[in-house]
């Protein structure tokens, strides 16, 4: 059975900043609404000063773009604002996407300054889709990036996403669970995310279950009778070591083992998790329950998980909630959407935002991205952003250089290259074959393995090379100098 697309639940076409409408009307009034423009969606800094980010959200972006229409209710609302004339409202009534769009596939490690999504199309159309593209890619890329960090900290142990109740609304809960799965978590507690996207679901019990019964033992026994092959018991409601674990062991002996079942696991949600899990492991092992798994939760993140394992905690899996689903340490991804070129007289004219803040100076032109891989190790060496149409010969040496400190140069040898941007829409029609979420997750894992450990570390990661081709750097530098000279002569 086909799953209902999450964006089918409501008309998302009006999810746009109001100034997109006012600009589009201005374009129409000025006779340039059909002028072909290029926009790049990119981000300027990796969250939490990390070494990489993970792009996610492409599937929901496609759903939105395939269904963008302005229905009678939308037109009626815009009419009430007394800002838009019938000419513009008729334009919206007839709106059908005509843009060409390229994107980096979901699950790919990405870096600041790279176009994650490239849009080419009539400027009024390209403008109207800006907000939704940013909202979709920013949110899911943020959560996928955080999930990747947490999953790596767990050193191969399963991580379960437990954050739905702490998410910033239900869309964030569902799509956050999707992004977290792409980034490396093993399952989610969010049932609708499992239903919508085919993500494995996982859950045990709440403290309220244990509190409802007269005794902890009775609570555990009732649960074991209901789920004999999936008995996971929450053991910290009263006293983890003096009550919870002993009662779990007793239920295993009294109820599960006589019926041919085993206690699958216990969960600890409070206290000194390193000490409690070490002691609980000894108690379980002494009772012959060496196969019983220990899961911990309680406001975990990658740093706490790493420290627990360094301290010798006996943990088989982690439940991570609020600090994952909200990316609590840095809850904004910071992607932006900037004009990079326009077409005029059959030529592509570069456009560039210039700022006194060097971090806000954009890179002009219709662009491509090449990722270089070492032929022997398979490791990623660098990304180079080029002018569209440039070719790179894998059989010839290629010199890269820092776009700011241009004297820093390196010649790459013995490499292969891969174009990162793939066509998604051509003339408004989707041409992209969507992988399922399992394939995206596995692809993400494979691509992370191409990065050096120095880029993956949490603190002070090595900067990954993202450079410009000589041709692109020359164009950018020429625009900067011409802009400076213009300002001086005025």
> Residue 394 corresponds to which tokens in the numbers above?
């894998």
485 pLDDT band (50/70/90 cuts)? low
Tell me the domain boundaries of the chain: 6-143+331-489, 150-325
Q: Are 60 and 188 in contact (CB under 8 A)?
A: no
pTM of the full predicted structure? 0.96
Strand partners, 398: 412
Q: Could you please report the per-residue DSSP string of 331-358?
A: ----EEEEEEEEEETTEEEE-----SSG
Compute how many other C-beta atoms are within 10 angstroms of the C-beta atom of residue 186. 19
pLDDT at 483 over 90: no
Q: In the numeric block, which tokens belong to residue 280? A: 């609980």
- 2/385: higher pLDDT: 385
Architecture of the domain spanning 6-143+331-489: Alpha-Beta Barrel (3.20)
User: Residue 7's pLDDT band (boundaries 50, 70, 90)?
Assistant: low
Q: Which pLDDT value is given to residue 12?
A: 87
Q: What is the CATH number of domain 150-325?
A: 3.20.20.70
Average pLDDT over residues 72-80: 96
Mean pLDDT, residues 391-409: 96
pLDDT level of residue 425 (50, 70, 90 thresholds): very high
d(CA 221, CA 227): 10
Cα 200 from Cα 181, distance rounded (Å): 9
Number of Cβ atoms within 10 Å of the Cβ of 231? 25
Domain 6-143+331-489 and domain 150-325 have a common topology: no
Number of neighbouring beta carbons within 10 Å of residue 351: 17
Q: Is 383 helix (H, G, I), strand (E, B) or coil?
A: strand
What pLDDT does residue 355 have? 83
């Amino acid at each position: 059975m086909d799953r209902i697309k999450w964006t089918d639940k409501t008309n998302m076409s009006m999810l746009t900043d109001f100034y997109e409408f006012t600009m589009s009307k201005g374009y129409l009034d000025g006779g340039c609404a059909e002028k072909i423009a290029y926009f790049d969606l990119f981000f300027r800094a990796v969250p939490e000063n990390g070494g990489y980010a993970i792009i996610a959200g492409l599937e929901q972006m496609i759903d939105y773009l395939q269904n963008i229409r302005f229905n009678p209710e939308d037109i009626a609302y815009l009419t009430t604002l007394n800002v838009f004339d019938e000419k513009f409202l008729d334009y919206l009534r007839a709106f059908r996407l005509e843009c060409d769009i390229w994107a980096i596939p979901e699950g790919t490690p990405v870096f600041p300054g790279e176009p994650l999504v490239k849009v080419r199309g009539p400027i009024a159309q390209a403008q109207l889709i800006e907000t939704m593209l940013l909202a979709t890619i920013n949110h899911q890329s943020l959560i996928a990036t955080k999930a990747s960090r947490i999953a790596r900290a767990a050193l191969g142990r399963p991580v379960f996403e437990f954050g739905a109740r702490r998410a910033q609304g239900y869309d964030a809960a569902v799509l956050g669970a999707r992004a977290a799965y792409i980034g490396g978590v093993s399952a989610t507690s969010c049932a609708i995310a499992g239903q919508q996207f085919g993500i494995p679901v996982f859950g045990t019990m709440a403290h309220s279950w244990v509190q409802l019964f007269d005794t902890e033992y009775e609570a555990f026994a009732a649960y074991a009778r209901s789920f004999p092959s999936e008995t996971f018991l929450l053991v910290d409601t009263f006293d983890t070591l003096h009550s919870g674990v002993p009662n779990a062991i007793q239920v295993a002996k009294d109820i599960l083992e006589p019926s041919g079942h085993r206690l699958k696991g216990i969960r600890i949600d409070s206290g000194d998790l390193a000490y409690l899990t070490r002691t609980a492991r000894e108690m379980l092992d002494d009772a012959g329950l060496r196969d019983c798994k220990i899961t911990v939760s309680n406001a975990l993140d990658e740093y706490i998980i790493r420290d627990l394992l360094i301290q010798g905690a006996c943990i088989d899996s982690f439940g991570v909630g609020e600090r994952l689903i909200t990316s609590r340490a840095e809850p904004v991804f910071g992607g932006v959407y900037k004009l990079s070129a326009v077409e005029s007289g059959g030529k592509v004219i570069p456009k560039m935002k210039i700022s006194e803040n060097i971090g806000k100076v954009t890179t002009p032109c219709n662009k491509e991205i090449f990722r270089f891989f070492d032929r022997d190790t398979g490791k990623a060496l660098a990304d180079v952003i080029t002018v569209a149409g440039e070719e790179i010969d894998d059989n010839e040496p290629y010199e890269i250089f820092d776009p700011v400190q241009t004297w820093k140069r390196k010649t790459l040898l013995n490499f292969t290259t891969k174009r990162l941007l793939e066509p998604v829409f051509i003339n408004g029609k989707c041409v992209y074959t969507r992988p399922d979420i399992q394939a995206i997750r596995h692809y993400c894992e494979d691509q992370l393995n191409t990065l050096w450990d120095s880029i993956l570390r949490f603190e002070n990661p090595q900067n990954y090379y993202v450079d410009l081709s000589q041709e692109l750097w020359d164009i950018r530098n020429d625009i900067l100098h011409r802009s400076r000279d213009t300002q001086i002569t005025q």
